[in-house]
Amino acid sequence: MVSIDEVARVAGVSTATVSRALSGRGRVSDTTKARVEAAADSLGYVVSAPASSLASGRARNIGVLVPFLERWFFSTVLASTSAELMRHGYDITLYSVTEDAELRRNVFDTLLRRKRVDGIIAVSIALGDAEIERLLALEMPVIAIGGPDPRLRTLTVDDVAVARLATEHLLALGHRDIAHIGASPEFDLDFHIPTQRRQGFAQALEQAGLEVRPKLFEPADFTIEGGFRAAKQLLGRPGAHPTAIFAASDEMAIGAILAARELGYRLPADLSIVGVDGHELGAFFGLTTVDQFPAAQGVRAADAMLDALNGQVTARRSASAASPDHLPFELVVRRSTARPAAG
């Protein structure tokens, strides 16, 4: 195994200079840094993680909290977060924070307190007051995607506005009987975004002078299968007769498209469907959506964490940074939406 002494000998510098050059901590000229890196590459030298941690006080590892591992949105955010952190020499440790109270308590009371990570990124997960206090007590940077929470650095999409935009698109086309596929209360416990999207849907209808009709709402689980089942319920419900469906995720919207086709609906002549997320399959299905750029969210979260680490910022926020960082979203119109049929 190649040692740091061998790298120093080939580069013609001290071991301390090699350590500074490869860790990025301390002053080293660009010329010397390039020479050290070239020597390390030629010898196949890799910095020992334990040694680097001891020398720098850093684990070079970021903990990521997610409520779901198998859902497209979370995997997309996670992939881009991981890639960006890896480019800067950081590993990630993944914590699946489920609704299981005992497992969840173990994450906050035991696993995170081992301090094997330098910071925490929480992806679209509703944290309780006690959980936030435990994170703050770690005295390390915490970046949250979602929220917002005034106690944490938060990157947030205005999900009420996202849902309003999607619903207003349907209203502008002339639809008045608009159904909504959202989330069941159980699903929403640890993931409050569905409630906010339902609020935005209701606000848009009320602003247009329309009643929010309970029979035009159907809960699902944010999967294609769930959207398929929910759409079949809506389209087969006596007295419902929606001309459009706003689904709170693209996966549910894709499920609704498949259900409508199976039932003989022509899209968009008989039924318009709009979703939210910017799913990679959206273009294939011709799905109109509100793109919230999840891959870019992951990069923003990683960059915010790196900035916090470089600035030695802890979880507790300064008064000057009390407001959340707003993330962009954009309506993307495709062939799944059109004006309702006359008559």
- CATH no. for residue 303? 3.40.50.2300
Cross-strand pairs, 290 = 276, 331
Q: Average pLDDT in the 102-117 region?
A: 80
Q: Average pLDDT in the 9-38 region?
A: 81
Give the tokens for residue 140. 């390390």
The pLDDT, as a whole number, for residue 185 is: 60
Does 99 map to a domain? yes
**Cβ(296)–Cβ(130) under 8 Å?**
no
Task: Please tell me the pTM assigned to this model.
Answer: 0.78
Pair 201, 300 in one domain: no
- Using one digit for the tens of pLDDT, what is the confidence trace for 275-286? 999 999 999 999
Q: Which structural domain range is residue 275 located in? A: 159-291
Pair 71, 130 in one domain: yes
> The dihedral of CA 83, 84, 86, 90: what is its sign?
negative
Kind of pairing between the strands at 330-332 and 288-291: antiparallel
In this predicted structure, the answer to whether residue 83 has a pLDDT above a threshold of 90 is yes
Does 279 map to a domain? yes
Q: What are phi and psi of 337, to 5 degrees?
A: -130, 145
Pair 165, 128 in one domain: no
- Using one digit for the tens of pLDDT, what is the confidence trace for 164-195? 999 999 999 999 999 999 986 655 544 456 78
Q: Average pLDDT in the 71-88 region?
A: 91
- Using one digit for the tens of pLDDT, what is the confidence trace for 195-249? 889 999 999 999 999 999 999 999 998 899 999 999 999 999 998 899 999 999 9
Residue with tokens 């660009």: 30
Burial 144-169 (b: 16+ CB within 10 A, else e): bbbbbbebbbbbbbbbbbbbbbbbbb
**Cβ(268)–Cβ(297) under 8 Å?**
no
Crossing angle between the packed helical segments 15-23 and 30-43, to the nearest 10 degrees: 100
- Using one digit for the tens of pLDDT, what is the confidence trace for 310-329? 874 444 444 334 456 889 99
Nearest 5°: the CA angle 278, 281, 282 is: 50
3-state secondary structure at position 195:
helix
Q: Average pLDDT in the 116-120 region?
A: 89
How far the first Cα of the chain sits from its last, in Å, is 78
The pLDDT mean for the chain works out to: 85
Gap between the Cα atoms of 63 and 46, Å rounded: 22
Does 334 map to a domain? no
Pair 191, 280 in one domain: yes
